[in-house]
Amino acid sequence: MARAAAIGYRLSAAVPSSLFPVPSFPVPSLLTASTLIYLEPRLTVLARPAFAEPSHLPVNWLGDSTDGERLAEFAGRLCYMSQRNPANRTTRDYLENIKKQGHGSVLEHANYSVLIEGVSRSLTHELVRHRAGWAYSQLSQRYVDESVADFVMPPAIIGDDALETAWKSQVESAQKSYVTLVEELMQRYSWVADKVHRRKMAREAARAVLPNATETKIVATGNVRAWRTMLELRSSEGAEMEIRRFAITALRLMQQEAPAMFSDFEIYLAEDRKEAARLGYHKI
């Protein structure tokens, strides 16, 4: 598999696989052989709506739809008690009209939870600024040992050998400092009897030297209105490149999950030769 098409690669040359191909550069000595350098994010849908239609209020459904789309249509139709579907609209047409009318609160009923991996701490710092309609749970650097951390290469660096080497050398040095600091802090606070607490004290201080590029994992749950607002801001050309790449991946995922609710987003190749997206209905 070509490097650009992979999620990332391990520094180890010992375990080649199609997901983590062998790197084409010398392996730095201090990053462990199993360190993964992410070249793109990995998104997995954890939860999606399961619509349960009430038998006493059946809707005359037309056309294809997913549970999330039906949930939103059901909620919208309840407002006018139009379950009979007098205009003979397909779910996709109905939701198109909802977006056009700016009736975005109807989309708030459909929530999607996504496991996000292979993203940097700087990306999640930006992501969690999106508050309304969102819930987050992120890997804790105070509890989790980062001496075996993985890293995310900034998109602008990928493909330039000299920049990649310089970046990896800095990452390597930061990780070395982290490991040393944890060891020394464990010694310094050896009088703390509770070992779990002592480790936490060491890790929470040592993480200060880890780079923004340190890989993190986060579960994000958002309703469709919130997803749309976040994707509008983060898939645009003005967004930072890593979160923009993430937003494009997330947009494609949402377009599969609930096509009618994201059909007005259009992905295109921007002048900077990276993908961006624009949309038909701004902040509904």
Ligand X SMILES: Cc1cc2nc3c(=O)[nH]c(=O)nc-3n(C[C@H](O)[C@H](O)[C@H](O)COP(=O)(O)OP(=O)(O)OC[C@H]3O[C@@H](n4cnc5c(N)ncnc54)[C@H](O)[C@@H]3O)c2cc1C
Q: Which of 89, 203, 228, 234 is catalytic?
A: 234
Smallest distance from ligand X to CB 239, Å: 5
Binding site for ligand X (CB under 6 A): 129-132, 229, 233, 238-239
DSSP string for 184-208:
HHHHHTTT-S-HHHHHHHHHHHHGG
Q: Whose Cβ is closer to ligand X: residue 92's or residue 278's? A: 278
**Closest CB to ligand X among 89 and 130?**
130
Catalytic residue list contains 207: no
Tell me how far apart the alpha carbons of residues 167 and 115 are, in angstroms, rounded to a whole number.
Answer: 27
Single-letter amino acid code for the residue at 20: F
Residue 117's DSSP bridge partners are: 42
Query: CB 248 → ligand X: shortest distance, Å?
Result: 14
> Residue 89 or residue 234: which is nearer to ligand X going by CB?
234
Gap between the terminal Cα atoms of the chain: 41
Chain center to CA of 7:
13
> Between 203 and 234, whose beta carbon lies closer to ligand X?
234
CB 117 within 8 A of CB 214: no
Bridge pairing between strands 111-120 and 36-38: unpaired
Tell me the two tokens of residue 265.
């987003």
Least CB distance from residue 234 to ligand X, whole Å? 6
Catalytic site residues?
234
